[in-house]
Amino acid sequence: MTKNKPKVIVTRKLPDVIETRMMELFDVTLNLDDTPMTKAELTEAVQTADVLVPTLTDRIDARLLAQAGDNLRLIANYGTGVDHIDLASARQRGITVTNTPDVLTEDTADMTMALILAVPRRLAEGAMNVRSDDWKGWSPTWMLGHRIHGKRLGIIGMGRIGSAVARRAKGFGLSVHYHNRHRVHPELEQELEATYWESLDQMLSRVDIVSVNCPHTPATFHLLSGRRLKLLQPQAYVVNTSRGEVIDEVALTKLLQSGDIAGAGLDVFEHEPAVNPKLLELDNVLLLPHMGSATFEGRIDMGDKVLVNIKTFADGHKPPDRVIGEAF
């Protein structure tokens, strides 16, 4: 790697201010038309780059990394989640992987809380009704939803985002419950007034709203399986702003169709950008295009993290956001 000007290849369009800074600091190749790279283009990128800057739309698997050139020593991921990168293969080849933690916490928690509010109160249905000119005026029994104050929220994954969701939920009068691989520090638990459930099954059977905030790892794939989803009460709602693979989407769709689950707010999907067409037919589901972290501030902060990681690595130091392993 050339110390002063490492060759950096970016796979997607980034905010202008970040791209400008990259051009000043590095020998950079940008993706100005913002179309996802093909397999052939990704292969060429890993063969020629010192640093690859991918996003969640790029599959950096073992087969791709096996074709990487000797110069590729850093994958500076533009995003927090790294489930699209084969970390074991990267380590085996001596490639450092970094991500952009912390900067998306508040934005994602905001979106999670928005869905927790919107789905029980049927906001999407109401908005569509007004736009369709079907609204005939106020009625005491029409478009009734459910209040969230006093309900039980079950958070799966009490990391940074899960804790931020809990703080918001507490302010809305929700009772906070959580399942995590490890119990959080007692001081945090006390601050959030959160009840820990070692058994996910037991928590699911007792909460009114489930919020998925854990990362996608082999251990969390279909964590909300068909069996576990059936433990939910018929009045329960499911909200997911994490990764679609954590939920068995086919099973969830069937339970929503049958009314065994009251509704869902989904910002992510198991096979995105493909969306199960049966989900699109349901009125009790609010579907968003993976926009939980989509703020101007968040995207620029992500870019700043990428810049720091690359510059630190190019200067011969350990970048601050090295990915050591995923926790849930």
Average pLDDT, integer, range 53-68: 96
**Structural domain contains residue 325:** no
320, part of any domain: no
Q: Are residues 163 and 228 in the same domain?
A: yes
Radius of gyration of the chain (CA): 21
The tokens describing 253, both together, are 């769709």
What pLDDT does residue 1 have? 52
Q: Assess whether 69 and 182 both reside in one domain.
A: no
In this structure, are 77 and 122 located in the same domain?
no
What's the whole-number mean pLDDT along residues 255-266?
Answer: 98
Residues noted as catalytic: 243, 272, 290
> Does residue 322 lie within any of the structural domains?
no
CATH number of the domain to which 299 belongs: 3.40.50.720
What are residue 285's phi and psi, to 5 degrees? -130, 130
Positions of E strands within the chain: 7-10, 27-29, 51-53, 74-76, 96-98, 152-156, 175-179, 194-196, 209-212, 237-240, 263-266, 285-287
* pLDDT, position 327: 47
Verify that 28 and 131 share a domain, yes or no.
Answer: no
CB 256 within 8 A of CB 280: no
How do residues 200-226 score in pLDDT, each as one tens digit?
999 999 999 999 999 999 999 999 999
Residue ranges making up the domain that contains 202: 105-287
Which phi and psi (to 5°) does residue 237 adopt? -125, 150
Query: For 46-64, what is the mean pLDDT?
Result: 97
Tell me, yes or no, whether 93 and 224 share the same domain. Answer: no
Q: What confidence tier does 252 reach under pLDDT thresholds 50, 70, 90?
A: very high
pTM above 0.85, yes or no: yes
pLDDT band at 40 (very low <50, low <70, confident <90, very high): very high
Task: Give me the mean pLDDT over the 281-310 stretch.
Answer: 97
Percent helix, strand, coil in the chain, to 5, is: 35, 15, 50
Band (pLDDT 50/70/90 cuts) for residue 4 is low
Whole-number pLDDT of residue 324: 78
Shared domain for 188 and 227, answered yes or no, is: yes
Same domain, 308 and 201: no
Same domain, 80 and 127: no
Backbone angles phi, psi at 144, to 5 degrees: -80, 135
Distance CA 56, CA 46 (A): 16
What confidence category does residue 288 fall into, taking pLDDT thresholds of 50, 70 and 90?
very high
CB 111 within 8 A of CB 291: yes
Q: Answer whether residue 280 is part of any domain.
A: yes
Q: How confident is the model at residue 109 (pLDDT cuts 50, 70, 90)?
A: very high
Residue 54 sits in the same domain as residue 145:
no
What is the Cα–Cα distance from 116 to 122, expressed in whole angstroms?
A: 11
For residue 324, tell me if it sits in a domain: no
Between CA 277 and CA 255 the distance in angstroms is: 15
Q: Are residues 151 and 260 in the same domain?
A: yes
Instruction: With respect to residue 1, please indicate whether it lies within any of the assigned structural domains.
Output: no
Q: Is residue 25 part of a domain?
A: yes
List the structure tokens of 191. Answer: 């601050």
Asked if residue 323 is part of any domain, the answer here is: no
Please give the full DSSP string across 259-313, using - where no structure is assigned.
Answer: TSS-EEEES--TTTT---HHHHT-TTEEE--S-TT--HHHHHHHHHHHHHHHHHH
Measure Cα distances from 214 to 156, 201, 217, 241, 293 in Å: 6, 16, 9, 9, 15
Of the candidates 233, 256, 263, the residue with the CA atom closest to the CA atom of residue 121? 263
Tokens of 130: 């007004």
Per-residue pLDDT, 133: 84
**Residue type present at position 109:** A
Total number of domains in the chain? 2
| CA distances, 293 to each of 39, 106, 211 (Å) | 26, 8, 16
174 and 65 housed in the same domain? no
**In this structure, are 178 and 79 located in the same domain?**
no
| Tens-digit pLDDT profile for residues 128-187 | 999 998 888 999 999 999 999 999 999 999 999 999 999 999 999 999 999 999 999 999
pLDDT, averaged across the chain: 95
